[in-house]
């Protein structure tokens, strides 16, 4: 018995650590596909445990397949539990000679899977779900086991050992599952904190450097331009001084939401620090980038920001715009041009859009579709850089 229990636990530990990687990227949001994959994964595990089961009689075996079904339900809910139990039931039909008793047991396995899946949907703690699942599944399988071994003189010893095996295996697996879940949670949170700004939920400056470099490399291969907007909230320090940092945080969070709503789904928004934001626009020429920047500036200027003290204020943006070039451009150059344009917008009175032209754009404006250059030239909202 101890030897068989050890083999069962070793197989489960190995499979669960591998299976835990399925939910490593985001332990909070488990897609239907992942639930189905995990159901198949645990179904294979349950079938494997049946191969290494404890043989009571020629057609009667004891194993921890119901613990595997519980793990499936805890992680993947009803869908995963049904898939797992169905695969285990099919495996039982394949491993043993098909007769009435084997068919009844296979149906019971699917029935237990449905009950466990239902328990997983109850609004109770995971520990209570686990206890209910272990007790109910063990009880049902004990009834089936009783009717199959009641003719044996020592059937009561077998039932006692089965309950002990089930409870001990359930406890060990519960500890293991909690460890894997916590590890996945910490991995996700640490990864999130390293890439996402905690206040706005936008990508942070580390992600900006990485994504900009990757996108520029791809853009050069595809010979497409990337638009870059550098954004600064005008006189933000005065807002913090006048209304407090809580009000400033509220504005930053709302600004992030407005920026996301103002761009396409495949574009990127970042908070670079303080009151500074940036936007990367994919496959975008300078004229369209300026139009998007002006749209953002206008939207922010008209938007009423409700502060925590129920006061409403208005803010403005200064925005610097530039685009990458297909040949000879670098992330450092495009960032410098955007920063120069932002500085120009702030030095010329703020609440406006300025852009910086690379030398190649300045020398060949028609090649880069810069009709916006002439449109805004009278306002002197552009600068040129080498």
Q: Which of 29, 101, 189, 275 is catalytic?
A: 275
> What are the CB-based long-range contacts (under 8 Å, 24+) for 46-51?
46/84, 46/87, 46/88, 46/91, 47/87, 47/88, 47/91, 48/11, 48/15, 49/8, 49/11, 49/12, 50/88, 50/91, 50/92, 50/95, 51/95
225 phi and psi angles, rounded to 5 deg: -95, 155
291 is catalytic: no
CB 231 within 8 A of CB 276: yes
CB 223 within 8 A of CB 325: no
10 Å Cβ neighbour count for 304?
8
Q: How far apart are CA 165 and CA 240, in angstroms?
A: 63
Q: How far apart are CA 144 and CA 57, in angstroms?
A: 14
Q: How far is CA 330 from CA 217, 270, 282, in A?
A: 9, 19, 16
Any idea how long the chain is?
386
DSSP alpha helices (H): ranges in the chain? 2-20, 32-51, 65-95, 100-120, 126-149, 155-195, 205-222, 236-243, 245-261, 286-302, 331-347, 359-363, 371-377
The residues annotated with a catalytic role in the active site are 275
């Amino acid at each position: 018995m101890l030897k068989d229990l050890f083999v069962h636990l070793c197989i489960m530990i190995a499979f669960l650590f591998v299976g835990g990687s399925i939910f490593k990227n985001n332990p909070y949001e488990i897609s239907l596909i992942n639930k189905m994959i995990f159901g198949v994964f645990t179904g294979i595990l349950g079938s494997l445990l049946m191969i290494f089961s404890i043989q009571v009689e020629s057609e009667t075996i004891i194993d921890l397949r119901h613990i595997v079904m519980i793990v499936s339900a805890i992680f993947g809910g009803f869908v995963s539990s049904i898939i797992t139990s169905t695969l285990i039931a099919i495996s039982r039909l394949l491993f043993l000679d098909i007769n009435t008793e084997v068919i009844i047991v296979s149906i019971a396995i699917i029935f237990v899977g449905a009950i466990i899946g239902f328990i997983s949907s109850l609004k109770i703690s995971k520990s209570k779900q686990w206890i209910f699942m272990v007790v109910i599944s063990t009880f049902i399988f004990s009834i089936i086991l009783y009717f199959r071994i009641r003719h044996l003189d020592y059937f009561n010893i077998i039932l006692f050992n089965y309950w002990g095996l089930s409870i001990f295996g359930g406890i060990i697996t519960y500890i293991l599952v909690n460890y894997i879940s916590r590890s996945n949670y910490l991995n996700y949170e640490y990864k999130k904190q390293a890439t996402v700004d905690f206040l706005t939920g936008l990508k942070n400056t580390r992600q900006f450097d990485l994504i900009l470099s990757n996108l520029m490399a791809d853009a050069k291969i595809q010979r497409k331009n990337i638009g870059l907007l550098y954004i600064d909230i005008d006189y933000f320090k005065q807002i913090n001084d006048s209304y407090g940092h809580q009000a400033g945080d509220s504005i930053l969070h709302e600004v992030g939401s407005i920026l996301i709503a103002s761009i396409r789904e495949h574009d990127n928004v970042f908070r670079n620090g303080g009151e500074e934001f940036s936007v990367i626009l994919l496959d975008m020429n300078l004229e369209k980038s300026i139009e998007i920047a002006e749209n953002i500036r206008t939207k922010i200027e008209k938007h009423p920001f409700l502060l925590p003290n129920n006061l409403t204020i208005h803010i403005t943006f200064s925005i610097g715009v530039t685009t990458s070039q297909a040949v000879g451009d670098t992330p450092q150059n495009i960032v410098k041009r955007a920063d120069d344009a932002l500085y120009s917008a702030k030095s010329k009175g703020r609440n406006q859009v300025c852009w910086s032209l690379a030398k190649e754009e300045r020398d060949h404006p028609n090649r880069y579709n810069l009709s916006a250059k002439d449109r805004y030239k009278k306002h002197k909202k552009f600068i040129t850089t080498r």
